[in-house]
Amino acid sequence: MARRQQRSSGFVGIDAAIFGAPDLAVARKLFSDFGLKKLKDSKSGLVFATEIGSEIVIRPTGAKDLAPKLNPNSEFREVIWGVASARDVERIGAELSRDREVRRDRDGTIHAVDDGGVNIGIRVWRHGKEPKRAAALPLNAPGARGRVDAPSPMYERARPFRIGHIVFAVPDVRAAERFYTERLGFSLSDRYAGGAATFLRYAPRADHHNLFMMRLPSRITDLNHLAFEVHDIHEVFGGGMHFAKLGWKTAVGPGRHPISSAYFWYFTNPLGGMLEYFSNPDFVTEAWKPTNFRVNRFSEWHLVDGLPVERDAMVRPSLKAAKAMDEP
């Protein structure tokens, strides 16, 4: 039996997600339209970043430095987790080396395969951190009027803040959960009973989940989706409507998860799995008590085909009439 790690795992967040791409032009448009900042664009590949700096890395499908595919039908290759210090990298590397191959890059990143068959990397976190205090979206409710003399924000498009969580299908959820909790120090948030799925977080105090793993009837290993946190529910809707208007296909949403409480909108990712905008997730601590859910609680509500984005049919005043309205 593997020894349990110390209570503090050392993990900070999802540093990067790596994809291959048969056509870099499609990947370039995909992540630009999605709202990420382009950091690199060359024949050797693309790098896009969230506001906090966590990255999407895309290389040509045949690139020699790409990890192997998890599934023949997907171009997802590897998730890189960020930790607080080089000491954490060394500690995790030593732990994993006890029973599997661990490779090391020149920059100190280590690579291995987890017990679900997913390619993982560990490196010192290179990006920004969530601010300790930030201006939250002011809300108005009976007896609590937090927004006064100001309209609520509207978004023409999304600018994702960070990669919040990643979701995989794995053949054995129980084995995968043991790997992350006993070997890497992740914390259990909730489960679906019978080994159907597990929600894990990388620290005792964190979002409800940063890693979710599920078992499909086919028992495949594959990426299900990659989730990007935006600043509030209005950005979920504004970003989703913009992305859909540019021609990207809604997978499901918008909607709201009863497990984690987050609002969501999922889109089909041509490189594999789905891309999700989400906001307002639960934040939990050591006091959280995991539940074994026995029924599927994917959504409290959701739309199947997204929101209509065609606006040309709306009745609008003429420009002359609109100007007349503004005249004193």
Per residue in 30-85, pLDDT tens?
999 999 999 999 999 999 999 999 999 999 999 998 999 999 999 999 999 999 99
Q: Return the pLDDT at 287.
A: 97
Asked which of 140-149, 163-172, 188-197, 271-280 is least confident by mean pLDDT, the reply is 140-149
pLDDT at 127 over 80: yes
**Taking all residues of the chain, what is their mean pLDDT, rounded to a whole number?**
92
Q: Return the pLDDT at 321.
A: 62
Q: Return the pLDDT at 4.
A: 43
> What do you get for the CA distance between the two ends of the chain, in Å?
79
pLDDT band for position 300 (cuts 50, 70, 90) = very high
pLDDT band for position 138 (cuts 50, 70, 90) = confident
Q: Return the pLDDT at 216.
A: 92
- Dist CA 265 CA 277 (whole Å): 5
Per residue in 148-194, pLDDT tens?
998 999 999 999 999 999 999 999 999 999 999 999 999 999 999 99
Check if the beta carbon of residue 47 is closer than 8 Å to that of residue 55.
yes
* Residue 139 in tokens: 């809300």
DSSP 14: E
Structural domains in the chain, CATH included, are 11-129+159-302 (3.10.180.10)
Per residue in 229-239, pLDDT tens?
999 999 999 99
Q: What share of the chain is helix, strand, coil (3-state, %, to 5)?
A: 20, 35, 50
pLDDT at 3 over 50: no
Per residue in 209-219, pLDDT tens?
999 999 999 99
- Dist CA 272 CA 264 (whole Å): 18
The Cβ of residue 291 has, within 10 Å, a number of other Cβ atoms equal to: 14
- Dist CA 97 CA 112 (whole Å): 9
**Region for residue 155 given its phi and psi (left: phi exceeds 0; alpha: psi -120 to 50; beta: otherwise):** beta
- Contacts (Cβ under 8 Å, ≥6 apart) of 177: 188, 191, 198, 200, 213
Q: What is the pTM of this model?
A: 0.91
